[in-house]
Amino acid sequence: MTRVITFGTFDVFHVGHVNILQRAKELGDTLIVGVSSDALNMSKKGRYPVFPEADRIHIVKSVYCVDEVFVEESLELKREYLIEHKADVLVMGDDWAGKFDHFSDVCEVKYFPRTDGVSTTYIINKIKDRETD
């Protein structure tokens, strides 16, 4: 049984998020997702997500191809998360290409191309533009 793990904020959940989760699940039997905490987001992006972590976790848990969800509290704990969740494969979008290669002693590390033309920031800006139209 192959266990696949991926990480992300999954804020303002969109089709790019669905695509990477589907592709990740195709690599194994069980898909485990580490959803970044609000505090981790504040520290890495300088802003809180639009949707609070309880809602983001609830949304990701409800995606049909996701089997297990946990809160990613710190980027520094990634190795511990991979071991704790017995990951065989780590999947990330290619905006993270190369950044997790040093975990290849723990599991296989794969990057998938991001879905073109959509991102949380793009959606936020699009809504803002409409409000000022």
Contact residues toward ligand C2G (CB under 6 A) are 7-11, 16-17, 20, 36, 72, 75, 92-93, 95, 114-115, 118-119
Residue among 53 and 72 whose Cβ is closer to ligand C2G? 72
Tell me the residue number closest to ligand C2G, measured at CB: 93
Residue 18 Cβ, how far from ligand C2G at the closest point, in Å?
9
| Pair 89, 5: CB distance under 8 Å | yes
**Placement of tokens 């690599």 in the chain:** 27
Residue among 88 and 133 whose Cβ is closer to ligand C2G? 88
Residue among 47 and 130 whose Cβ is closer to ligand C2G? 47
Residue 2 Cβ, how far from ligand C2G at the closest point, in Å?
19
- Listed in sequence order, the DSSP H helices in 9-118 are 15-25, 38-45, 53-61, 78-84
The CA-based dihedral angle spanning residues 17, 23, 26, 31, taken in that order and rounded to the nearest 10 degrees:
-30
Residue 133 Cβ, how far from ligand C2G at the closest point, in Å?
24
Apex CA 36: angle with CA 43 and CA 59, to 5°?
140
